[in-house]
């Protein structure tokens, strides 16, 4: 009977140790998950900021092309008027 009690106590101790190991591993995994979630949120925020910057730059680029086209048209018109005046 005493031997059975010893075996049960050893088994209980082993299970308690295993339980603590699992708890510790779970805490580590939760910390890793939390870190990953924060990293994901940060990356998503940065992505949105960069997308907005890209959009803003695209608008500026489109405006610059429009200005270039307007100036080119004016230049062509002025060359034509100048040509008419020289004749």
Q: What is the pLDDT of residues 42-75, one digit of tens each?
A: 999 999 999 999 999 999 999 999 999 999 999 9
Geometric angle at alpha carbon 21, from 17 and 25, rounded to 5°: 170
Q: How confident is the model at residue 14 (pLDDT cuts 50, 70, 90)?
A: very high
Q: 3-state DSSP helix/strand/coil percent for the chain, to nearest 5?
A: 100, 0, 0
User: Residue holding tokens 């086209």?
Assistant: 69
Minimal CA–CA distance to 36: which of 48, 44, 46? 44
Q: What is the pTM of this model?
A: 0.63
């Amino acid at each position: 009977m005493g031997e059975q009690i010893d075996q049960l106590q050893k088994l209980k101790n082993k299970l308690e140790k295993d339980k603590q190991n699992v708890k510790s591993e779970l805490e580590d995994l939760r910390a890793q998950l939390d870190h990953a979630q924060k990293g994901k949120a940060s990356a998503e925020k940065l992505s949105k900021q960069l997308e907005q910057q890209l959009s803003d730059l695209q608008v500026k680029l489109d405006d610059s092309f429009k200005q270039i086209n307007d100036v080119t048209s004016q230049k062509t018109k002025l060359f034509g008027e100048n040509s008419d005046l020289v004749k």
